[in-house]
Amino acid sequence: EAGVTQSPTHLIKTRGQQATLRCSPISGHTSVYWYQQALGLGLQFLLWYDEGEERNRGNFPPRFSGRQFPNYSSELNVNALELEDSALYLCASRRKWAAGDEDNYGYTFGSGTRLTVV
Amino acid sequence: DQQVKQNSPSLSVQEGRISILNCDYTNSMFDYFLWYKKYPAEGPTFLISISSIKDKNEDGRFTVFLNKSAKHLSLHIVPSQPGDSAVYFCAASDGQNFVFGPGTRLSVLP
């Protein structure tokens, strides 16, 4: 079973530009989560998509946005890049949640995209 | 306001001894808890989980303990091995949303 794949693995952008990060979930998984891990910090929740809709977003400005496609893959877009946006961006996927299905709680992470803003 | 806290940013343990990583949460709606391990430049990998109906779950060298009244959980690794050196994240879920703690960096010294 292929895992969660993210592309590109590394991305270098100039301040003010836009970045697009992509995530392909595990086959059969309908939920995609995006997290930011800045240097020395924990995992900060960015966005949650499920069945093509945004279900929740973390405490990030509107220039962080995304979408989920019919095949459940997802894009994260960061507009007007700032130096402090430099971080590891992680995507995770999960099967559709079902009450009582304990095995369904955990999700699987990709290896991340390292975004560097210069 | 952090809903999931890991108050020790780092921990050093001698090889062969026990490693104890702690996690506290504030939201009583959380009913499922997970531990993830992360190496540099890799995504976190799932280690072990526990639901709120249990107070202990074991998987090999890893045991997670949950104290619901204290809103506290801990991960015990015994015996600790150098390959266990990584950042450990505690996560809590209410079934839909996941909240991660800031992580604890474990260093197992040979």
pLDDT at A68: 97
Residue A81's identity, in one-letter code, is: L
Q: Tell me how far apart the alpha carbons of residues B7 and A62 are, in angstroms, rounded to a whole number.
A: 30
- pLDDT value for B36: 92
Instruction: Name which of B31, B53, B96, B105 to mutate to probe chain A: the one with the most chain A Cβ atoms within 10 A of its Cβ.
Output: B96
And the tokens for B42? 């890799």
Closest chain B C-alpha to A63 CA, distance in angstroms: 22
- pLDDT tens for A10-28 read 999 999 999 999 999 999 8
Region B73-79 average pLDDT? 97
| A25 CA: distance to closest CA in chain B (Å) | 14
Residue ranges of A 32-61 with Cβ closer than 8 A to chain B:
33, 35, 41-43, 45, 48, 55-56
- Tally A–B CB contacts below 8 A: 54
Indicate whether B95 pLDDT > 80: no
Q: Residue A99 — pLDDT band, cuts 50, 70, 90?
A: low
State how far the Cα of A75 lies from the Cα of A7, in Å rounded to an integer: 10
The predicted model gives A82-88 an average pLDDT of 96
Q: What is the mean pLDDT of chain A?
A: 89
Q: Decide if A90 and B89 are in contact by the 8 Å CB cutoff.
A: no
Of A48, A97, A112, the CB nearest to B43: A112
Q: Do B46 and A105 touch (CB under 8 A)?
A: no
Average pLDDT over residues B27-37: 91
Checking if the pLDDT of A97 tops 70, the result is no
> Do residues A31 and A49 touch, judged by C-beta distance below 8 A?
yes
What are A71's two structure tokens? 């095949």
Residues of A in contact with B105 (CB under 8 A): none
| Residues in CB range of B107: below 8 A, 6 or more apart | B10, B11, B12, B13, B85
